[in-house]
């Protein structure tokens, strides 16, 4: 049960970094993330993602908890060989349900450790006033059955192999102030409007920015297996990284590519 604690490596990672084919890089592909056979092994440095929530949203097939966790297991088992030694994953999750409460984060951490990832930590994203004010109090002003109204989500952080990345010639881009702030386990920033972005569950650029700054070097490859509207790709480009995105839904693939291509055009001619 505790083998994963004994196995943890802290030596510098090896430096095997295979190259992603040029026609795949900086694009979102209409592909199912359960099959990553097109991606070379040891080619991804960081994954930042939020899987589909297991609640009725436009893109969900209303999966049972078992089906949902099987999807997570299949996708992240496929990702394991694609990460470089020391590569990282940050997965954004919200716990759901009240009858009973379903600690998705608990299940997912367990699955990740079974796959062989080493957990680095757990960040609480305090969404504050932007969290939306659910009125599902349970028993109003009574201890009979009060219900918690979550104003936070989680970011679970994992490494493959060793906790320490081999830096080589690569540069850090994080500032002193950012480092002091982002290494705290509670992050506070607002959500982003689904309507404005055109996707039912986008995460804010700030979330991706912090993960990229803290957990990757300039020039690294950032992968999002559930790319949605392309936020991960956009921030990867803004921070001088490369990206690769997989997304099932054709409309979201187009939205993601529009966002990243527009940014690249503006950078070139703007
Ligand atoms: C929570 S959303 C991601 C939103 C994204 N972080 C953003 O900022 O827009 C999850 C996405 O995963 C996609 N998805 C679900 N199952 C998938 C699979 N097997 N392979 C690839 N994408 C999938 C859904 O279509 C949905 O757009």
Strand partners, 12: 164
259 C-beta closer than 6 A to ligand 1? no
Atom of ligand 1 nearest to the CA of 75: 19
Rounded to two decimals, the pTM is 0.95
Could you please state the CATH topology (level 3) that the domain comprising 3-11+20-258 is classified under. Answer: Rossmann fold (3.40.50)
Query: In testing the pocket of ligand 1, which one of 247, 251, 252 has its CB within 8 Å of the most ligand atoms?
Result: 247
> What Rg, from alpha-carbon coordinates, does the chain have?
19
- Take atom 8 of ligand 1 and give the residue whose Cα is closest: 202
Please work out whether the CB of residue 247 comes within 6 Å of at least one atom of ligand 1. yes
Alpha-carbon distance of 230 to 23, in angstroms, equals 17
Q: Cis peptide before 100, with omega less than 30 degrees from 0?
A: yes
Given phi > 0 = left and psi -120 to 50 = alpha, else beta, which region is 7?
Answer: alpha
Ligand 1 mean position to 119 CA, how many Å?
23
At residue 132, the pLDDT reads: 72
At residue 228, the pLDDT reads 97
Question: Is the CB of residue 222 less than 8 Å from the CB of residue 243?
Answer: yes
pLDDT tens digits, residue range 209-250? Answer: 999 999 999 999 999 999 999 999 999 999 999 999 999 999
Point out the ligand 1 atom lying closest to the alpha carbon of residue 59: 25
**Size of the chain in residues:** 270
Evaluate the CA torsion angle 23, 25, 29, 34 in order and state its sign: positive
Q: Where are the domains of the chain?
A: 3-11+20-258
* CA separation for the pair 94, 266 (Å, rounded): 34
pLDDT per residue, tens digit, the chain (270 aa), is 666 666 788 988 888 899 999 999 999 999 999 999 999 999 999 999 999 875 544 345 567 888 899 999 999 999 999 999 999 999 999 988 888 888 999 999 999 999 999 999 999 999 988 887 677 888 999 999 999 999 999 999 999 999 999 888 999 999 999 999 999 999 999 999 999 999 999 999 999 999 999 999 999 999 999 999 999 999 999 999 999 999 999 999 999 999 999 999 999 998
The residue to mutate among 227, 235, 238, 256, having the most atoms of ligand 1 within 8 angstroms of its beta carbon, is 227
With a 6 Å cutoff on the Cβ, whether 260 touches ligand 1 is no
């Amino acid at each position: 049960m505790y083998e994963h604690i004994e196995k943890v490596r802290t030596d510098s990672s090896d430096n095997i970094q295979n190259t992603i084919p040029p026609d795949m890089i900086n694009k979102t592909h209409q592909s199912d993330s359960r099959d990553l056979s097109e991606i070379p092994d040891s080619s991804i440095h960081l994954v930042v993602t939020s899987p589909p929530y297991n609640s009725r949203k436009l893109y969900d097939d209303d999966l049972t908890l078992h089906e949902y966790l099987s999807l997570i297991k299949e996708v992240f088992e496929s990702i394991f060989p694609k990460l470089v030694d020391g590569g990282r994953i940050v997965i954004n999750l919200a716990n759901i349900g009240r009858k009973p409460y379903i600690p998705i984060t608990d299940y997912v951490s367990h699955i990740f450790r079974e796959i062989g990832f080493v957990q680095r930590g757990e960040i609480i994203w305090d969404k504050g006033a932007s969290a939306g004010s659910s009125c599902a109090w349970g028993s109003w002003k009574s201890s009979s059955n009060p219900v918690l109204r979550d104003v936070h989500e989680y970011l679970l952080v994992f490494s493959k192999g060793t906790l320490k990345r081999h830096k080589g010639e690569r540069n850090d881009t994080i500032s002193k102030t950012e480092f002091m702030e982002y290494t705290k386990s509670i992050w506070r920033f607002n959500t982003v409007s689904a309507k404005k972005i055109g996707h039912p569950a986008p995460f804010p650029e700030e979330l991706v920015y912090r993960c990229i700054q803290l957990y990757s070097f300039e020039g690294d490859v950032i992968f999002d297996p559930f790319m949605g509207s392309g936020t991960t790709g956009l921030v990867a480009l803004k921070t001088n990284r490369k990206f690769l995105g997989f997304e099932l839904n054709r409309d979201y693939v187009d939205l993601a590519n529009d966002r990243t291509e527009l940014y690249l055009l503006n950078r070139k001619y703007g």
